[in-house]
Amino acid sequence: MIQDAGRDLQHRVLLLLALALVAGAASVPVARAQDPGQTPQQFWHIPVWAMPGAWQDSTVLSRRNMEKCGGVFRGPLCDAEGRVDSLRAQARTVTVRFLRNRWVEARPDFGGYRIYRVTNTPDSASMMLLRRFSVNDSIPAPGGSFFPLWHFSRLDLATMAFKCGSEAAYDSILTFVDPDSNGSYQKVCRKVDHLGRCITKDDSVWKLVAPPGPHEGFRTWYSVTYEARNTLDNNYEDLYVPDSSDTALCRRLGACPNLNDKAANMTPGPVVPAPAGAPNLETVHVVPNPFRGSEAWDPVGGNMIQFTNLPDQARIRIYTVAGELVRELQHRGDSGQPLLGGGSCSNCEGWDLKNAEGRDVASGIYIYRVESGSFSAQSRFVVIR
């Protein structure tokens, strides 16, 4: 009799556990479970690597949608001598790569990844946020459009595979090239005085402000954390993962330590960016910037901006902020480009503000990239029709 009662109690416990699992499966994916065999510290840790230079590969990005994803690998890249190398030598540039965690990405509170940088000493309290790869709502841009912050595959909860649309993707390792950060858009005055105070309050422009890139001679550390999924507020903050499931203990302590911590996901050692050499492409400028179609320097029926301080040989690529190639220019120093105000300039290159199909480009913010030999630099300019 006692044995039957014990067996009945055991069956009831098993039934309750089964009901609890079924109820949980209706609201939480099974993939939320921690990967077996790992401690909580191991589960939440993000492996991060950093190396001097600019990463390059042949992964094809889809330009059809604002949400792009990679994974279609066409084969290794080769340099001018035919050597296979995915890391291009580039001054003051660091490549950061980190491993995605599909078990975390399956959680409903996953909002993306956040990349931080610190110099001189591995102090997580002094880290600067560089980039967000976020599945939260995009940042609204001037004119009402949105800038995508997630350019990769999505996790299929049924198969736990990364998918780009309906096709399998192979981008489990994500790459960020610093200083190629998108930064943030800020509305600023077009003219300021010597103290930085606004003197044209009714004439402001949108400016894309990027964090300063890594500098030669400085030891640099990077860290990657998980971003929390926004629920009620657009706070875009790190995901809080207490190191204890005892909520009463956490309340008594004020707060439990966060397993999703910058110090826990830091590169194992510092990286030192390569020094810059000649030519110094960071002296390249766009004139005028912003370009205004109604200004006196824009003659009737003509549109023109100029890239100045170019080296003798350079390639200029112009992109939209969505990453679409608009135009490519080849500069030769012996061509003697005409100046906007008259005369000629051997280190300048003009652009008629037309795309590759010969149509005028629309108003907006554009990114230009200048390459000369193994050196490259990029910046932004604005077109206002």
Question: What is the Cα–Cα distance from 64 to 252, expressed in whole angstroms?
Answer: 52
How would you classify the pairing of strands 161-164 and 167-168?
A: antiparallel
Burial of 260 (0-12, 13-18, 19+ CB in 10 A): buried
pLDDT at 79: 56
pLDDT of the chain, 385 residues: tens digit per residue: 334 444 454 444 344 444 333 333 333 333 345 555 678 889 999 999 999 888 876 655 444 443 456 544 555 566 556 666 678 777 778 999 999 999 999 999 999 999 999 988 899 889 999 888 998 875 554 444 455 678 788 899 999 998 887 888 878 889 888 865 555 566 777 777 877 778 876 677 666 666 677 877 788 999 999 999 988 777 889 999 988 877 777 777 777 889 999 999 999 999 988 776 656 676 788 888 888 776 554 554 457 888 888 888 889 999 998 888 999 998 887 655 655 555 556 678 888 899 988 888 988 899 998 888 767 788 889 988 7
Burial 91-128, CB ≥16 within 10 A → b, else e: bbbbbbbbebbebbbbbeebbbbbbbbbbeebebeebe
How far is residue 301 from each of residues 275, 314, 382, measured CA to CA in Å? 45, 28, 20
Domain ranges of the chain: 40-182+211-253, 281-384
Give the CA-trace dihedral at 144, 138, 236, 25, to 10 degrees: 130
**Closest alpha carbon to 133 in 182, 167, 92:** 182
Kindly give, in sequence order, each residue whose CB lies less than 8 Å from that of residue 158, ignoring residues fewer than 6 positions away: none
Map residue 127 onto helix, strand or coil: coil
Instruction: Say if residue 199 is exposed, middle or buried (CB neighbours under 10 Å; 0-12, 13-18, 19+).
Output: exposed
Cα–Cα distance measured from residue 240 to residue 237, given in angstroms and rounded to the nearest whole number: 9
Residues sharing a CB contact under 8 Å with residue 342, sequence separation 6 or more, in sequence order: none
pLDDT at 111: 93
CATH assignment, 281-384: 2.60.40.1930
pLDDT at 105: 94
Report the alpha-carbon distance of residue 67 to residue 148 in Å, rounded.
6
